[in-house]
Amino acid sequence: MHGFGVALEPARLLYCFVGVLVGTLVGILPGLGPAATIALLLPVTYHLDTVSAIIMLAGIYYGSQYGGSTTAILLRIPGESSSLMTTLDGYQMALQGRAGPALGMAAIASFIAGTVSVIGLMLVAPQIGRLALAFGPAEYFSLMLLGLTLVAYLTGGAPLKAVAMVLAGLLVATIGQDPVAGTERYTFGIGSLFDGLDLVPVFMGLFGVAEVLATMEQPPGEARISAPKGLMPTRADFRDAAGPIARGTFLGFWLGVLPGGGATIASVVSYVTEKRFARHRDMLGKGAIEGVAAPEAANNAASTGSFIPLLTLGIPTNVVMAMMLAALTLQGIRPGPLLIQQQPVLFWGVVASMYVGNLMLLVLNLPLVGVFVRILRLPYTYLAPVILLVCMIGAYSVNVQVTDVLVMLVFGVLGWAFRKLGYDATPFVLALILGRPMEESLRLALSLSQGDFSVFVREPISAVLLAAVVLAAGFPLLRGRLRRSRG
């Protein structure tokens, strides 16, 4: 309850509002995702107090899940990858003249799922935090290894490429002083590499600049849409959507907690689940309300759930959480099992702000759909230089160094090439952020055990985690074998 006192202070309410509003906008605008936006705003958060900064950034994340559904329904363009499934039935509903109820249901499903999963977060996070107190370096190493393995296999694309990206990310993380002995590694005598690569320019390059390059590569096009009328779904719609919302929320929440999970996978899994269980399962894909309610509930629940591993273990499970970790680190906070006890104002304040933010989104989204549609008509040509320049300012302002701008540019071009070649940047970024703690815990675990590798399997928690790594890595290989032998 104390958290609400924190979240309801006028200044905090304002940052929460700014966060969900910006989040909704970037959710609507294709080509600017929550990850890039949070990277853009990281420099701004230097000037804020920690609680306000995290409240605002969290608002951007769950706000973008609301906004992404608007373009998915009206234009069949997913503003975010997590609203891809919503395009299937949402756009069909729009073609049938039911765009309004589809938008209304998306907002209502998001609100219910968002609120329920915040309660889940309150109940589950402290438990995991308590469990994690027993973690030593061996457990942490195995946990991070499991996280990276799941990310590599779940984010889509060829697993081999994802593994290469994880290895490359871990390797790039070793640039700079070695965390134990302080030896210089891969600095080539360049002073600004001494402390390693700064994360902000790398993020901005991979997600901001690369996105602009890829979008502007296409010849400019114009979108024509009109604002829908009448947003309230019918009574029958609500009856049909109740089950999908409940299932979507449950699945989404737990998939959000899982490393490599997150909003996109949650929406896909919930849609596939509805194909089995929904009342009108044969209508799915032809404009069924269930096809909007389930994935929208799931992606919101997942975005809340993914805060759990970040806040209790200090391990980000997707790119947006990696940005959050960067923001917390900038503020001098290292999230871990003690966070809830040591920073109760931060934890409960952010949790309470999520209730408030979800309410704001519901109030904000329904009446403002017409305005958002007008924003969509803004040509990307004018938006692109704004994104690029804000990226440049952000990268430069980290250390007031042009080398950081250069780093951003290099990773921008790399990110563009990654997209072309089908290499996902997500495993790279997570490996980059987990590289140092992973190396530290590996080396610490080995020196504590006197060089005995069996410590990773003798400690029960670590052994279970490693068994999960083997299962996660082995399962797709096995499935591929089976499929090939059958075909």
Partner 1 sequence: MTAEASPAQRGVGGRSQLVAGLVVAAIGAFALIAGWGLDLGALRRPGPGFFPLSLSVLLIAAGIAIAWRAAASVLAGRGEPWPDRAGARRVVTMIAALSAMTLFFESLGFVACAAGVTFVMLRFVGGRGWVTSAVFGVVLAACLYLMFARWLGVDLPTGILARM
Q: How far is the CB of 48 from partner 1 (least distance, A)?
A: 11
Q: Does 413 bind partner 1 (CB under 8 A)?
A: yes
Q: How far is the CB of 145 from partner 1 (least distance, A)?
A: 13
DSSP bridge pairs for 185 = 176
Residue 53 C-alpha from the chain's centroid = 17
Q: How far is the CB of 92 from partner 1 (least distance, A)?
A: 24
248/394 with CB nearer partner 1: 394
Work out which of 11, 95, 389, 470 binds partner 1, going by CB under 8 A. Answer: 389
Q: Does 416 bind partner 1 (CB under 8 A)?
A: yes
What CA–CA distance (Å, rounded) separates 106 from 298?
11
DSSP bridge pairs for 72 = none
Q: Are the C-beta atoms of 388 and 209 separated by less than 8 Å?
A: yes
Helix (H, G, I), strand (E, B) or coil at 394: helix
Q: How far is the CB of 80 from partner 1 (least distance, A)?
A: 18
Q: Does 214 bind partner 1 (CB under 8 A)?
A: yes
Q: Does 194 bind partner 1 (CB under 8 A)?
A: no
Q: Does 147 bind partner 1 (CB under 8 A)?
A: no
Q: Does 136 bind partner 1 (CB under 8 A)?
A: no
Q: Does 486 bind partner 1 (CB under 8 A)?
A: no
Helix (H, G, I), strand (E, B) or coil at 122: helix
Work out which of 302, 392, 466, 472 binds partner 1, going by CB under 8 A. Answer: 392
Pairing between β-strand 184-185 and β-strand 176-177 as defined by DSSP bridges: antiparallel
Q: Does 188 bind partner 1 (CB under 8 A)?
A: yes
Binding to partner 1 (CB under 8 A): which residues in 430-469?
A: 439, 442-443, 446-447, 450-453
Non-local CB neighbours of 176 within 8 Å, separated by 6+ positions: 184, 185, 186, 187, 193, 194, 195, 196, 197
Q: How far is the CB of 383 from partner 1 (least distance, A)?
A: 10
Work out which of 1, 123, 236, 421 binds partner 1, going by CB under 8 A. Answer: 421
Q: Does 174 bind partner 1 (CB under 8 A)?
A: yes
Site of tokens 């690569």: 197
Count each helix (H run) and each strand (E run) in the chain, helices first: 22, 2
What CA–CA distance (Å, rounded) separates 455 from 77?
50
Work out which of 405, 429, 430, 472 binds partner 1, going by CB under 8 A. Answer: 405
The DSSP code for 184 is E
Q: Does 186 bind partner 1 (CB under 8 A)?
A: yes
Torsion of CA 71, 88, 263, 398, to 10 degrees: -30
Give the CA distances from residue 343 to residues 13, 311, 327, in Å, rounded to whole numbers and listed in that order. Answer: 19, 11, 15
Q: How far is the CB of 67 from partner 1 (least distance, A)?
A: 23
Q: Are the C-beta atoms of 101 and 291 separated by less than 8 Å?
A: no
The DSSP code for 176 is E
State the binding string over 31-70 for partner 1 (x if CB under 8 A, else -). ------------xx--x-----------------------
Give the CA distances from residue 328 to residues 5, 12, 53, 404, 457, in Å, rounded to whole numbers and listed in that order. Answer: 22, 17, 9, 20, 32
Q: Does 213 bind partner 1 (CB under 8 A)?
A: yes
User: Which residues contribute to the site for partner 1 (CB under 8 A)?
Assistant: 43-44, 47, 157-158, 160-161, 163-164, 167-168, 170-171, 174, 178, 180-181, 183, 185-186, 188, 209, 212-214, 216-220, 379, 381-382, 384-386, 388-390, 392-393, 396-397, 400, 402, 405-406, 409, 412-413, 416, 419-423, 439, 442-443, 446-447, 450-453
